[in-house]
Amino acid sequence: MPLWGMVIDLDRCTGCQACAFACMAENNVPAVGPAEAAQGRRIAWMQILDGSSGHGPDGFIPRPCFHCDDAPCTHVCPVDATNRTPEGLIAQVYTRCIGCRYCMVACPFDAKFFNWRRYRMATLEPNPDVSIRPKGVVEKCTFCHHRLQRARERARTERREMAADEYRPACMETCPTGAIVFGDLSDARSEVARLAHDPRAFRFGEELGTEPKVTYLSRVRRHA
């Protein structure tokens, strides 16, 4: 069974935010407006953090949900609205969510967001493959899980096995520098598994024991 994960090469990231905008368009992430954003209610499944502000290494840091193998959010949800799938994805079931926000408090990476209102869409045409979340529920990055479902359905229709590279999240597909690599971590031959064991590899919050499935490659120090 696959174990989906991601590697982000910080040496290649330019902070262009193409991944963040692609994520918003692909997943119907709402635009909250300046007044709500000023109250800390911005929703951004893929955030571009500024490392120079104390968030981590210098430079820009794309930050999706880390889809941790031992995710604290899954332990505190009283209705199992957030749970870990057999393939390692941390799912968010909006129709089951009661808006208690325990999962938001439990997440050490601030990767979950609450819908305080029924916000307008960031794009004019919503993606019909992704549900639009109502007021009062928590949402987050899903690694574009609907694309996995679509790839599986296509393979099933064609009566063949789905190849791992048929499942590509929007952020990876859009990155102009190839900084984002996604795939099956359980396949030692895959590029994502190889890069996850690169000498430059590190994960945020490893000391917390959450086992994130997003690995970063540190920047290469260049001397003049």
DSSP track, 89-148: -EEE-TTT-----HHHHH-TT--EEE-SS-PEESSSS--TTSPPPPTT-EEE--SSHHHH
Pull the structure tokens for residue 23: 């994520």
As for how many domains the chain has, the answer is 1
Q: Which domain holds residue 185?
A: 4-217
DSSP state of 56: S
pLDDT digits (tens, 9 = 90+) for 96-138: 999 999 999 999 999 999 999 988 776 678 999 999 999 999 9
Q: Which residues are bridge partners to 89 per DSSP? A: none
pLDDT exceeds cutoff 50 at 42: yes
Q: Measuring CA to CA, which residue among 169, 155, 176 is closest to residue 213?
A: 169
Is position 33 within any domain? yes
> CATH number for the domain including 100?
3.30.70.20
Is position 187 within any domain? yes
Q: Please, what is the average pLDDT of the chain?
A: 93
Is position 128 within any domain? yes
Is position 206 within any domain? yes
